[in-house]
Amino acid sequence: MILFEDAIKLIKENSFSLGVEEKEILDSCNFILAEDIFAKENHPSFDNSAVDGFAVKFCDLQNATRENPINLKIAFTIKAGDEENNILGNNSCGRIMTGAIIPNGTTAVVMKEKCEANTESVKFFSAVKEGENIRYTGDEIKKGEIVLKSGIEITPAVISLLATLGYEKINVFKKPKIAIITTGTELKEIREELQKGKIRNSNKYFLLSALKNMGVEISFQAHNVNDSKEEIYNALKNGIDNSDVTIITGGISVGDYDFIKDVLQDLNAEEIFCGVAIKPGKPTYFGKVKNKIVFGLPGNPVAVGVIFYEMVYPFLNILSGKNLSLKQSEAVITKSISKKTKRVELLRGHIEKINKEILVTPILKQGSHMLSGFANADCLIEFPLEKSALNEGEKVLIHFLPWNNI
C-alpha cells in the first residue's frame, strides 16, 4: 500500500500525450488548442462605425452648443455591408450604421441619440472628439499577431473568434478513448425490479455522466459483469483492446470473488500500484497493458466517485492536453471530527462563503456506500494521514468538486 501523494505522483509520471488531430471548429469545443493561431488580416479590416449615427468632420462642429446648435445637410447614407467608399465634404454629414465603412474625410461619428435629424439635415448640440465612435483598422488585432496560444481550452467564445479570423479547421490535442466496465453479480439495471441481495448499478451512471461531462469518447462498455473470472477476462480484454484507458469497478479487493488482479496478471499487465492509504478507495489499482492504462476502482459508489475525481479525472485531463486537477483551497471547518485510520481521509463536505472566508461543514453520512452524502457535497475535506482530529475553527484543505458554485 502506498501513500496518497505517492499515488498521485505515479499517475502523473505515467501520463502521456495522445498526439494531435485536425478538427472543424464546430467539433472542437472543450478540446485543447494544439497550435498558435495567427491573425491572417487586421481586425477590424477597415475603419468602421461603432454606433448608428452621423459621420462628421471634427472642424465642422467645434462651436456647436445646446444654445447654438449647428445644422449640417445629410449628403448620403451608408449601411453595414455597403462597399462604396463615400467622400464627406465640408459642412455636411453622412447617415451611417453600426459596422459601416467610414467615409473618406470623416473624423468622428455622432450617436443619433445626441442630435436631432430629419430626412434632409441634422442639428448637432455639442462638439466632438477626433476619432469618437470610430473603430480603426487593426485596433483590436494586427495582421500576423498571435491571437490564441496553444494550450487554451476551446470555448464557444474561442470558436467565435476563430470564425472571425477565417479559420475553418484547427489542430487540437486528441482526447482519450475510454472503456467502462462495472462488475458485480449483485448489480441490476434501473428498470429492473430489485430482489433481495441485489442493488442498482449506480457506478455505471456515475462514470457515464462524469466522462460525458469531460467530453471524452466512451469506446467500450460492459456493465453488470458477473463475478466470474471468464466474464471479467473477456470484458477487460475487449475494453483494453478498444480504448486508451480502461476503468473497471468492483472485484479489486481480496475477497474470494475478487478476480480483477488475477485477470490483469493473465493479460500481462504491469502493476504500478495496488492499494493506497486513503479512505474511501483503499484497494485502488493503477497499471498498464503495453501502452494501455487500467484503473481498478472499488465497488462502493462513493469510493468510485472520490477516486475518479482525485486520480482518474486529472490523468484524463493530462492525456487531453491540460494539466487540471481538482481546485484546492483552505477553509475553516465548522465541526470537530476524528478518525482512527492511519490513512488520508477524504470527507464529503459542504461549503459556505461568509464575507471572504470559506467555511466547510462535514456532511453527516460519510459511509463509502452512502451516495446521498456525496450527492449533497460540493467539496472533499482532506483529513491528513498523521492527524487523528480536526477541531472546530481549524483551517483545513478542501478539494472543490467540479460542480461547486463558489
Q: Which domains does the chain have, with CATH numbers?
A: 2-19+174-319 (3.40.980.10), 22-38+149-173 (no CATH), 48-135 (2.170.190.11), 328-400 (2.40.340.10)
> What pLDDT was estimated at residue 146?
98
**Residues 204-245 pLDDT 10s:** 999 999 999 999 999 999 999 999 999 999 999 999 999 999
Average pLDDT rounded to a whole number, residues 105-130 = 96
Higher pLDDT, 341 or 281: 281
Cβ(38)–Cβ(144) below 8 Å: yes
Report whether pLDDT(313) > 90: yes
> What pLDDT was estimated at residue 352?
95
Question: What stretch of H or E contains 204?
Answer: helix 202-214
Sequence-separated (6 or more) residues with CB below 8 Å from residue 190: 200, 201, 205
| 3-state secondary structure (DSSP) of residue 183 | strand
- Band (pLDDT 50/70/90 cuts) for residue 297 is very high
What does 266-307 look like in DSSP terms, one character per residue? HTT-EEEEE-EEEES-TT-EEEEETTEEEEEE-SSHHHHHHH
- Band (pLDDT 50/70/90 cuts) for residue 135 is very high
Cβ(23)–Cβ(169) below 8 Å: yes
What is the chain's mean pLDDT, rounded?
95
- d(C-alpha 18, C-alpha 12), whole Å: 15
Report whether pLDDT(255) > 80: no
- For residue 314, say if its preceding peptide bond is cis, omega within 30 degrees of 0: no
Report whether pLDDT(254) > 80: no
| Cell of residue 389, nine digits | 482530529
Residue with cell 485502488: 284
pTM: predicted TM-score of the whole model, two decimal places? 0.88
Q: Please, which residues bridge with residue 358 across strands?
A: 353
> What pLDDT was estimated at residue 148?
98
- Band (pLDDT 50/70/90 cuts) for residue 84 is confident
**In 3D, which of 133, 178, 139, 389 has the Cα closest to residue 292?**
178
- Band (pLDDT 50/70/90 cuts) for residue 257 is low
Report whether pLDDT(337) > 90: yes
**Residues 22-40 pLDDT 10s:** 999 999 999 999 999 999 9
> What pLDDT was estimated at residue 249?
96
- d(C-alpha 389, C-alpha 386), whole Å: 9
Residue with cell 505515467: 14
Under DSSP, the state recorded for 114 is: G
Q: What amino acid is encoded at 202 in this protein?
A: S
Average pLDDT rounded to a whole number, residues 340-350 = 94
Cβ(159)–Cβ(59) below 8 Å: no
> What pLDDT was estimated at residue 258?
80
Report whether pLDDT(370) > 90: no
Percent of the residues in the chain that have a pLDDT greater than 70, as a whole number: 100
- d(C-alpha 310, C-alpha 313), whole Å: 7
Cβ(222)–Cβ(235) below 8 Å: yes
Q: What amino acid is encoded at 285 in this protein?
A: Y
> What pLDDT was estimated at residue 378?
95
Average pLDDT rounded to a whole number, residues 378-400 = 96
Neighbours of 406 (CB within 10 A): 12
